[in-house]
Amino acid sequence: MTRTLSIVATAALLVLTAGTSLRAHDFWIEPRAFTVTPGGLVGLRLMVGQDMLGDALARDEAGLERFLVRRGDDQQPIPGRDGGEPAGILRVIGPGLMVVGYQSRPHALELSRAKFDSYLGEEGLDAVQTILAGMKTRPMVAREQYIRCAKALLSSRVQADPAYAPGAQAAGQRDRAMGLTLELVADRNPYTSTPGQPFPVTLLYNGVPQPDALVIAINRDDPGARISARSNAQGRVNFTLPRGGVWLIKAVHMIATPPGGVADWESFWASLTFELPAATDGR
């Protein structure tokens, strides 16, 4: 009887895990700390999950296209051990905004028609839905090739640094495009901002503003109260983030691939993580 119950419990756990993994498609960079001091080391975790809850992935050199940090005009690769977790170790050299960028190589995926349609709706991929609606016949399985493009903004500062007064926007304190295929760029430094202020972001595809894309902002402490908007003709979304804490902003872009290839669709998943100081933080 005990063995039977154990088998049933194990089977139930496998079903639950499988269901969770199907929904867990967000990918983001989560440093051990977003605000650090010069001279230290900070681990960078590559996370996959949903609503900012997920599992850390080990570094995979074979699947890694680029993993970089930019400080002002200087850009350097982020070291790490293949198969290691955290996937990268960042040395904090001096004060300023550090922009971490990651891009994977393409990964293949096959989804049933129902699951593919469901995720097109969740991610607001209306253009793809229009293409599918115009097809006379559709295959039962969607063959997809996806690329992950993630960024994180970290703040390195010393106490009473005037560069971090609210509203400060020195050249070295701005997010900049890193050349990821699909990329979210914060048009305001979150570490010089407070909740309730405008927080614009721009979505770029191959360096060009991407209009009419669904962009979603999620707070780690209240993931259910997500904010979403469509990018305008300049690829920009103007958020007003209502609270401090760790934020994930994400967007997806998908294109049809030429006939006869290994996939029918190619998708690009962009994410941007940072910590917005609370209004009482006094920065």
Per-residue tokens: 230: 């469509």
Contact between 250 and 269 under an 8 Å Cβ cutoff? The reply is: yes
Tell me the C-alpha to C-alpha distance, in Å, between residue 22 and each of 25, 26, 89, 142, 193: 7, 11, 29, 15, 36
Per-residue tokens: 236: 């920009």
- Rounded to the nearest integer, the mean pLDDT of the chain is 86
Which residue would you say has higher pLDDT here, 5 or 114? 114
* SS3 assignment, position 17: helix
pLDDT tens figures, 1-19: 333 333 333 333 333 333 3
Task: Say how far apart CA 46 and CA 58 lie, in whole Å.
Answer: 7
CA 129 to chain centroid: 23
* SS3 assignment, position 207: coil
Task: Say how far apart CA 122 and CA 24 lie, in whole Å.
Answer: 12
CB atoms within 10 A of CB 236: 17
Task: Say how far apart CA 209 and CA 256 lie, in whole Å.
Answer: 19
Residue 191: φ, ψ to 5°: -80, -5
Confidence check: pLDDT of 164 > 90: no
* Closest among 243, 211, 203, 204 to 227, alpha carbons compared: 243
Q: How confident is the model at residue 72 (pLDDT cuts 50, 70, 90)?
A: confident
Confidence check: pLDDT of 166 > 90: no
pLDDT at residue 278, rounded to an integer: 86
Write down the pTM of the prediction.
0.86
Confidence check: pLDDT of 143 > 50: yes
Confidence check: pLDDT of 174 > 90: no
Per-residue tokens: 54: 């997920």
Q: Work out the angle at residue 97's Cα, subtended by the Cα atoms of residues 30 and 280, and round it to the nearest 5 degrees.
A: 80
